[in-house]
Amino acid sequence: MTGFFISEDLLQSENAARRSVLDEDFAALSRALARRGIDSETLTRSVMAFGVAIPTWGVGTGGTRFARFPGPGEPRHLFDKLEDCATIHRLSRATPTLSPHFPWDTTSDYAALRDVAAGYGLAFDAVNSNTFQDQPNQAHSYKFGSLSHVDGAVRAQAIAHNIDCITIGRQLGSEALTVWIADGSNFAGQSNLTQAFDRYLESMAEIYAALPGDWRVFLEHKLYEPAFYSTVVSDWGTSLAAAQELGPKAQCLVDLGHHAPNVNIEQIVARLIRFGKLGGFHFNDSKYGDDDLDAGSIEPFRLFLVFNELIDAELRGAKNFAPAYMLDQSHNVTDPIESLLQSAIELQRAYAQALIVDRAGLAVAQAANDALGAHLELKRAFTTDVSPILAMARLRAGGAIAPIETYRASNYRKHKTSERPPVAGTSAGIV
């Protein structure tokens, strides 16, 4: 890191101040779990192995279509973003990968970028394409769509961009491309619903054909926004149908904020797993729509239920099951580093809670039609405070027992504020 970084000394002293309390809490929880036949050491090791990718666009302050209120010391460019991602991983030990977005993360030397990231212990997860905004000097506008546009020249430009993303991703060591398109319509009659989807499939087939042998493409659906009457890839049914038609390298990506209100997301996850088509996640939370709030902040039980399906699949060795875990959030009122630290912890929490579900007990209750008994098996896991396991996992992996407190004690943001003078018009990507 060129500028300020959180020193090993500070990390050690912050951890030392919390160590004895953690040892006590960990021992007490280990005894309680042992009574349930759960080995806390195994659980801790599983948590240590869990990782989620940071979206590079998430380390800048987000915004809404009304305003963006930039925070001090925001990353000015890609290499600042890497520093912030490295800091999150240093403290959490749960975010070893990055998910970049192009052209937001365009740079002249991707091999160098990969090296800098590797120097921080970071690697690259899925690359995201962007055909939902026009870029300066772009030949054709995406105002009326991209991969499903009525004009073949616009589609060709959008296809070429996705293929460029694959080329960049190869240099970064990534193995997947995530495609989300904003295509849709705002008026009944504006678009031929069938033909628009046909055009999308044809375009996707060209992108699919450009995938290296060991790559996957993740199809990300979204119900609405920016199109408000119809969206071409609006739901998991459309996404699944497209993935099935394209072939084995195409899988579906579930962004938790992209569904109809009250839809049963964990059941969608179960369905996609059933067909070997669950590619990955964009984790976030929401109350109304694509709110992009912090994962686990509004509906932690739903997050747990999603992980419950994932562990169920893992344990039974479901086919083609290797979901990519990525965050996709917009931090409008918090320090993005703090939000991302806490979100990674919330995912680990849901993961650990799902791991301690008594699966045999649950199966017995389900077979006996004991509805409440089955529910209580899940509740018993969900209401277990696994925080000492998570903290111990971080400590053993070289991270912070209390990441946010340690981050605040370091004054990282204050240091970065003097190192990163504001640049007029700086955008962190999504606003």
285 is an interface residue for ligand LRH by CB under 6 A: no
Q: In what order do the strands lie in the sheet with 127-128?
A: 123-124, 97-99, 53-55, 324-327, 278-283, 250-255, 216-220, 176-179, 127-128
Q: Does 162 bind ligand LRH (CB under 6 A)?
A: no
CB of 322 to ligand LRH, least distance (A): 20
x/- map, 270-309, Mn ion, by CB under 5 A: ------------x-------x-------------------
Q: How many CB atoms lie within 10 A of CB 272?
A: 24
Instruction: Tell me the C-alpha distance between 40 and 391, whole Å.
Output: 12
* Length of the chain in terms of residues written: 431
In whole angstroms, the minimum distance from the beta carbon of 391 to ligand LRH comes to 31
| Residue 364 CB neighbour total at 10 angstroms | 14
When binding is defined by CB under 6 A, the residue of 128, 185, 203, 343 that contacts ligand LRH is 128
Does position 124 bind ligand LRH by CB under 6 A?
Answer: no
Residue from 290, 309, 335, 377 touching ligand LRH (CB under 6 A): that is 290
Taking the complex as a whole, how short is the minimal distance between the CB of residue 366 and ligand LRH, in angstroms? 34
Going by C-alpha positions, the residue among 126, 157, 101, 140 that lies closest to residue 429 is 101
The least distance separating Mn ion from the CB of residue 295, rounded to whole angstroms, comes to 12
Which of 14, 328 has the CB closer to Mn ion? 328
**Which residues make Cβ contacts (< 8 Å) with residue 20, sequence separation at least 6?**
none
From the list Mn ion, ligand LRH, none, pick the one residue 430 interacts with, judged by a Cβ distance below 5 to 8 Å according to partner type. Answer: ligand LRH
Indicate the SS3 state at residue 82: helix
Q: What is the per-residue binding string for ligand LRH in 318-337, x denoting contact by CB under 6 A?
A: ----------x---------
Q: What angle do CA 343, 349, 350 make, to 5 degrees?
A: 95
Question: Could you say which residues in the range 207-236 bind ligand LRH, by CB under 6 A?
Answer: 220, 222
Residues 240-259 that bind Mn ion (CB under 5 A): 255
Contact 343, 283 (CB under 8 A): yes
User: Under rule CB under 5 A, how many of the chain's residues touch Mn ion?
Assistant: 4
Q: Which is nearer to ligand LRH, 125 or 220 (CB)?
A: 220
> Torsions phi, psi of 254, nearest 5?
-100, 110
Q: How far is the CB of 28 from Mn ion (least distance, A)?
A: 39
CB of 220 vs Mn ion, minimal distance in Å: 6
Cα distance between residue 333 and residue 61, in whole Å: 8
Preceding amide of 103 cis, omega within 30:
yes
CB under 5 to 8 A by kind: which of Mn ion, ligand LRH, none does 346 bind? none
Min dist. Cβ of residue 185 to ligand LRH (A)? 17
> What is the helix (H) or strand (E) element at residue 111, kind and residue range?
helix 110-119
Q: Is 259 in the site for ligand LRH (CB under 6 A)?
A: no
Q: Which is nearer to Mn ion, 183 or 328 (CB)?
A: 328
The β-bridge relationship of strands 184-185 and 230-231 is antiparallel
DSSP 70: P
Q: Using the structure block, give the residue that is written with the tokens 């903290």.
A: 391
Compare residues 128 and 308 and give the one whose CB is closer to ligand LRH: 128
Measured distance CA(10)–CA(14) in Å, rounded: 6
Smallest separation, CB 285 to Mn ion (Å)? 12
Residues forming contacts to ligand LRH in the complex (CB under 6 A) are 57, 128, 180, 220, 222, 255, 282, 290, 328, 430
